[in-house]
A = this chain, B = another copy of it.
Amino acid sequence: MAPRTRDRSPALTVDAVVFGLDDDDLKVLLIRRGAAPFRGRWALPGGFVALDEDLESAARRELAEETGVHDLYLEQLYTFGAVDRDPRGRIVSVAYYGLVDLHDHRLRAATDAADAAWFALDDLPRLAFDHDGILEAALERLRGKVRYRPIGFELLPAKFTLTQLQRVYERILERPLDKRNFRRKVLATGLLEELDEVETDVAHRAARLYRFDRRAYKRLERRGFHFEI
């Protein structure tokens, strides 16, 4: 007994804006479209939502299919629904943004994607659809969120140095941070577990490694915790 309206519902897609950190640059994961419209143009990975999968699952599935990237931090961003945003007709897209240690994933384009690659934010190609707007919104959200939620870690390997972490924040916030103040603040959260390990293969004094303590975070989160970098 479906209402009449349903037969004339907009179609529904998901898109994912995935950020990674490559040495010194914040990068975003794009695919080259293998089909019309915008065939050959770079775009965000994404696609249609199946009837039997929820939205985040759809985003993860499309991402894995089109780029090979899987098991990442992913969060809903915003739903884009301008009437004319897709030349194929009325298509609403639920956008997600994600963070990943890009060295952890070998890219592998498939299905609708002719290619997949990381692009530095200041060297982007023209994008299909309204994807530049989606990317802009994701970046803004990332910049806001990173200041009060501990998500910077997601761009790093499981074990990392404080200097690496500081670089993450500096790249995202686009301003230099004071080393001593940064370390004091980030350690004061109690969310970093100091390991008995140090970097290897560096041509200078090896830095201590830390790990994000998800347990401790869960505990703090429960009590409406809120920090600030």
Instruction: List residues of chain A with CB under 8 Å of any chain B CB.
Output: 1-3, 5-6, 8-12, 36, 47-55, 76, 78-79, 81-83, 88-92, 94
Q: Complex formed: what's the CA distance from A199 to B12 in Å?
A: 51
A8 touches B50 (CB 8 A): yes
Instruction: Provide the residues of chain B in CB contact with A36, threshold 8 Å.
Output: 1
How far does the Cβ of A54 sit from chain B's closest Cβ, in whole Å? 5
Q: Contact at B51–A79, with CB atoms within 8 Å?
A: no
Shortest Cβ distance from A52 into B: residue: B83
Chain B residues with CB under 8 A of A82: 54
Minimum CB–CB distance from A17 to chain B (whole Å) comes to: 15
User: What's the least CB distance linking A82 to chain B, in Å?
Assistant: 5
Considering the chains assembled together, what is the distance between the CA atoms of A47 and B6 in angstroms? Answer: 10
Least Cβ–Cβ distance between A130 and chain B, in angstroms = 12
The secondary structure that dominates the A interface is: loop
**Contacting residue for A83 out of B6, B48, B53, B92, CB 8 A:** B53
Q: Are A88 and B9 in contact (CB under 8 A)?
A: no
CB distance from A59 to the nearest CB of B (A): 10
Whether A51 touches B1, Cβ cut-off 8 Å, given contacts A76-B79, A94-B81, is no
> Closest chain B residue to A90 by CB distance?
B51
Q: How far in angstroms is the closest Cβ of chain B from A193?
A: 28
Asked if residues A9 and B49 are in contact (CB atoms below 8 Å), the reply is: yes
User: Would you give the shortest CB distance from A147 to chain B, in whole angstroms?
Assistant: 9
Is A48 a contact of B81 with CB atoms below 8 Å?
Answer: no
When distances are taken between beta carbons in the complex, the residues of chain B under 8 Å from A5 are 11, 47-48, 50
**Chain B residues with CB below 8 A from A2, complex form:** 11, 88-89
Q: Of residues A6, A36, A76, which shows the largest number of chain B Cβ atoms within 10 Å of its Cβ?
A: A6
Minimum distance in angstroms from A151 CB to a CB of chain B? 16
Query: In the assembled complex, which residues on chain B have CB atoms less than 8 Å from the CB atom of A83?
Result: 51-54
B48/A6 in contact, CB under 8 A: yes
Q: Max chain B CB contacts within 10 Å: which of A9, A50, A54, A90?
A: A9
- Which residues of B lie under 8 Å from residue A90 when comparing CB positions? 51-52
Q: What CA separation (Å) do A50 and B50 show in the bound complex? A: 20
Q: Could you list 11 examples of A-B contacts with CB < 8 Å? A: A1-B88, A9-B9, A9-B11, A9-B48, A10-B51, A49-B92, A51-B83, A52-B90, A53-B83, A54-B81, A54-B82
